[in-house]
Amino acid sequence: MKVAVVGATGLVGGEILKVLAERNFPVSEIIPVASERSIGKKISFKGKEYAVLGYETAIAMKPNVAIFSAGGSSSLEMAPKFAAAGITVVDNSSAWRMDPTKKLVVPEINANTLTPADKIIANPNCSTIQMVVVLNPLHKKYKIKRVVVSTYQSVTGTGKAAVDQLFDERAGKEGPKVYPHKIDLNVLPHIDVFLENGYTKEEMKMILETKKIMMDESIQVTATTVRIPTIGGHSEAVNIEFENDFDLAEVRAILEKEEGIIVQDDPKNFVYPMPITAHGKDEVFVGRIRRDESQKNTLNVWIVADNLRKGAATNAVQIAEYLAAHNLI
């Protein structure tokens, strides 16, 4: 199967290549693609070097699937051109997520809605993906009324320049800044741009995407998204109010059985999810599972995942795996 990785020279693009290799995706030909300034650069895949190509060259090579991680404006411009050539696009930007004509997919939840006609498929926001993987099995059992989420998000979610800023600051070096304030030894309650309603775009992504992925507009969500000086992954404190009461042992059992979830919940022995231990892993980790004693039918959980893996690259590759396995590409 011919696979194009669009944005192959970026942080997520590099992770997509790594995940394709690790998961033994059936690649007959890899086609690394990037913007004009990166054409000719070399990337490595399964021990071989490949030259980065431009968009038009890649389209002419007719890959079966193109996994995009090139930013929203590039996706809006180029994804329809790939799709028009019969190439299925899995797009990691925010460009198509809330388009009512496009599917927003987390494979564990709604891959079964995909058809051969879906030529542009949206990969959700990283912080949304890890949350809904945990919410979905609980929603099926107890029916979620409301979710309150506060995130603690890695600088890797902003990209390589943000990682450079953090380590420059840590080393006492001057360098380019992508955040309006220092990030080392600091916390920024600000991810993406502020909107008219006082929320950030990242917060509204979590609110709107959750309803779309879980196919239930009745779920009420409110979010506060925060950038912290870590690189291993995103963490979330999630408060979930259900219509029906629950048993904590049953909640743990439901989550333990779910593919793609690892329960780490032994606080007496200091076992709980952390970015440092989630780093490089494909699973979503959940712990600190406890009843909210201030309100009936309400649960608190702590969710951690590597935002470059399940939050981006792995989810996109899993979509491609589903498409390949069901002869949809």
Query: Are 141 and 255 within 8 A, CB to CB?
Result: no
Which residues are CB-contacts of 113 (< 8 A; sequence separation ≥ 6)?
103, 105
- Beta strand 2-6 pairing with 29-33: parallel
Active site residues: 126, 234
| AA identity, residue 257 | K
Query: Are 55 and 75 within 8 A, CB to CB?
Result: no
- Give CA–CA dist 174/34, Å, rounded: 29
Query: Are 277 and 258 within 8 A, CB to CB?
Result: no
Query: Are 259 and 236 within 8 A, CB to CB?
Result: no
| Tokens linked to 226 | 């925060």
- Strand-pairing partners, residue 3, are 30, 65
Question: For residue 136, which of 95, 105, 103 has the smallest C-alpha distance?
Answer: 105
- For residue 170, the SS3 value is helix
Question: For residue 55, which of 11, 87, 97, 16 has the smallest C-alpha distance?
Answer: 87
- For residue 158, the SS3 value is coil
